[in-house]
């Protein structure tokens, strides 16, 4: 098979017995770069990492039961930029998540988002307490917000609009935080901030994109090994859907996140296709994602 999965994928092992221990939903790995604050003590960074990991990974975010191998793989890369006051940090964060493609060990990226206003306060040893109806702290709001965004895009990839309840929870966190903090949560000014992201996820204008997100993964990627020709056609049709959505809501952050997450995947998908589909996919990708226009030329290479 010419599919790119030949090099990336092996068949998944036999299913784990039903008696396997039930685990939480998220499997975050957290990295913290403190090189821009050279005087910051290493134990403070380690404590920060431990607190964040515990908050994200040891909490039940849904009412569903997950086996350990079903947890959603995520990465959070935090860069501490400055220390404006004791125990107060200005930072950025890159949040990523992925889901497995059916019948394979290939992980398809579902979120790849950069937040340049990941600012928070944290006293060493201080626990993080979450209450969905109250503002607890900047860090609690940020972490719980991204937990629910990860869940929203993951659930949307398995069922049509199945992530809606988690979008509502993330929106509620954003609304409460905006009243208490403001920065990064306000609608005005930055079209790429958290407010824009949750507005896009909750937008009626972007429902066709979210429905296409399900089709892309369940009817496209998840069927790729069985019928790569049909899967590639389905994936191409989702690009046509994105084109229509982009005409209604140009340069929406959710659409840009799609290409930031999927560009390499789509290059690998379409470079194995027949020439007629390549000739349609390449100009469409360049139109929708001009930033990576040159990278898409790799589709024409056999």
> Could you report the per-residue pLDDT of 173-225, keeping only the tens digit for each?
999 999 888 788 987 768 889 999 999 999 999 999 999 999 999 999 999 99
Domain boundary among 171, 202, 233: 202
| Counted domains in the chain | 2
Mapping DSSP to helix (H, G, I), strand (E, B) and coil, where does residue 300 land? helix
Same domain, 163 and 288: no
The Cα–Cα gap between 165 and 76 comes to 23
Same domain, 242 and 168: no
The structure's pTM equals: 0.91
Same domain, 102 and 151: yes
Domain boundary among 167, 202, 237: 202
The Cα–Cα gap between 294 and 24 comes to 41
Express each pLDDT in 79-136 by its tens digit: 999 999 999 999 999 999 999 999 999 999 999 999 999 999 999 988 899 998 999 9
Same domain, 190 and 59: yes
Residue 2 lies in a domain: no
DSSP H helices in the chain: 5-8, 42-57, 138-158, 164-180, 194-202, 207-214, 228-248, 253-270, 275-288
Same domain, 236 and 128: no
For the four alpha carbons of 156, 265, 192 and 61, in that order, the dihedral sign comes to positive
Residue 104 structural domain:
22-202
Same domain, 165 and 256: no
| Residue 161 Rama label (left phi>0; alpha psi -120 to 50; beta) | left
């Amino acid at each position: 098979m010419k599919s790119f999965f030949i090099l990336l994928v092996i068949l998944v092992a036999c299913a784990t017995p039903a008696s396997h221990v039930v685990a939480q939903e998220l499997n975050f790995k957290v990295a913290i770069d403190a090189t821009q604050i050279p005087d910051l003590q290493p134990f403070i960074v380690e404590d920060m990492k431990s607190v964040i990991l515990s908050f994200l990974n040891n909490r039940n975010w849904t009412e569903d039961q997950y086996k350990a191998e079903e947890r959603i793989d995520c990465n959070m890369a935090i860069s501490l930029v400055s220390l404006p006051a004791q125990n107060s940090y200005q930072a950025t964060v890159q949040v990523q998540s992925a889901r497995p493609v059916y019948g394979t060990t290939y992980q398809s990226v579902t979120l790849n988002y950069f937040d340049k206003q990941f600012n928070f306060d944290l006293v060493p040893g201080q626990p993080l307490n979450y209450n969905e109806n109250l503002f607890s702290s900047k860090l609690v709001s940020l972490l719980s917000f991204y937990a629910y965004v990860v869940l929203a895009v993951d659930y949307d990839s398995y069922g049509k609009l199945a992530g809606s309840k988690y979008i509502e929870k993330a929106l509620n966190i954003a609304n409460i935080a905006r009243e208490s903090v403001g920065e990064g949560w306000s609608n005005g000014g930055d079209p790429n901030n958290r407010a824009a992201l949750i507005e896009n996820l909750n937008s009626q204008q972007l429902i066709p994109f979210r429905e296409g997100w399900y089709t892309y993964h369940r009817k496209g990627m998840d069927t790729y090994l069985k019928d790569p020709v049909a899967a590639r056609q389905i994936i191409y049709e989702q690009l046509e859907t994105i084109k229509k959505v982009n005409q209604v809501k140009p340069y929406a952050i959710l659409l840009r996140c799609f290409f930031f997450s999927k560009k390499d995947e789509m290059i690998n998908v379409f470079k194995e296709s027949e020439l007629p589909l390549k000739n349609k996919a390449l100009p469409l990708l360049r139109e929708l994602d001009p930033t990576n226009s040159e990278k898409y030329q790799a589709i024409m290479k056999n």
